[in-house]
Amino acid sequence: MEAIRSVLKSVRGRDTTDGAGVRLKRIIAQGALPMLDPFLLLDEFRSDDPEDYIAGFPDHPHRGFETVTYLVAGSFRHKDSRGHEGRLGPGSVQWMRAGRGVIHSEMPMQENGLSWGFQLWLNLPSRLKMSEPAYQDITPDRIPRVTGKGADVKVISGAYGGETGPGKTALPFTYLDVQLERGAHFRHGTGKGDNCFLYCSEGSIETGAPGATQRLMAGSLAVMGEGGTVEAVGGGEGGRFLLCAAPPLNEPVARGGPFVMNTEEEVLQAFEDYRAGRLG
């Protein structure tokens, strides 16, 4: 029987702003958790106050990684310098491989109501950092759901319960959105060498190795230890969480704002290309 992953550490998301002033919670890419190879950043934005999100994310560049935007509620439009345009509605996902470079915007298509979603940055291996940009626009009807015994699991990427998610990436990557009723059990096998985290977005869950479980409250992330299996139980009012797992790249990481490369020289080159109009 595969070992159950324990909780190595838990961190709380930090309130901040990004884009043109969008209020959000930064969970990965903050002091307590700078990164978890290959996960570079995880943000949650959630508000029903238009002042918190209406300014959106105007044109900005990226190079060297992938962004995965999962919208739970609300509506955003994406446009980029290469002519790609897409709309994200409730339950949809946009997967963007920035590769060698793209300039894009993500702007709300709503003037009121709840805007709630997540953006995850996945690092690219060095061999793909200068690849051509690519997109996956995934509508909600393409995302399989596995339900039963008090659990509702959306399979965005990877496999669960006999279903395979539509998201494709350079690395084997599991991305699940899991809802558990009170006391409902969840169990899922992940690659033994994968780095894995759970992020609780609503309610609470209990997770970790038998005899050493920890309660994870909404707004908190658990970095899971070595092992092949993740277990979780819904808390007193149930719980909802993201499960993400992928093998580490184990490559040097050089970060400079919107660029993530392997060396500082490559980051400086990205800034130079952007200033010279060669990036997107």
Residue 257 φ then ψ, to 5°? 55, -115
Beta-carbon count within 10 A of 3 CB: 12
Tokens representing residue 202 in the block: 């609503």
pTM here is 0.96
The DSSP H or E segment spanning 204 is strand 195-207
DSSP secondary structure of 84-149: -EEEE-TT-EEEEE-TT-EEEEEEES-SSS-EEEEEEEEE--GGGTTSPPEEEEE-GGGS-EEEET
Distance of CA 252 to the CA centre of its chain: 21
Long-range pairs of 269-273 with CB within 8 A, sequence gap ≥ 24: 270/61, 270/63, 270/64, 270/101, 273/63, 273/101
Per-residue pLDDT of the chain (280 residues), as tens digits, is 679 999 999 999 999 999 999 999 999 999 999 999 999 999 999 999 999 999 999 999 999 999 999 999 999 998 988 888 889 999 999 999 999 999 999 999 988 999 999 999 999 999 999 999 999 999 999 999 999 999 999 999 999 999 999 998 888 999 999 999 999 999 999 999 999 999 999 999 999 999 999 999 999 999 999 999 999 999 999 999 999 999 999 999 999 999 999 999 999 999 999 999 988 6
| Domain 7-268: CATH superfamily, name plus number | Jelly Rolls (2.60.120.10)
How far apart, in whole angstroms, are the C-alpha atoms of residue 237 and residue 58? 38
How far apart, in whole angstroms, are the C-alpha atoms of residue 263 and residue 280? 21
How far apart, in whole angstroms, are the C-alpha atoms of residue 124 and residue 249? 8
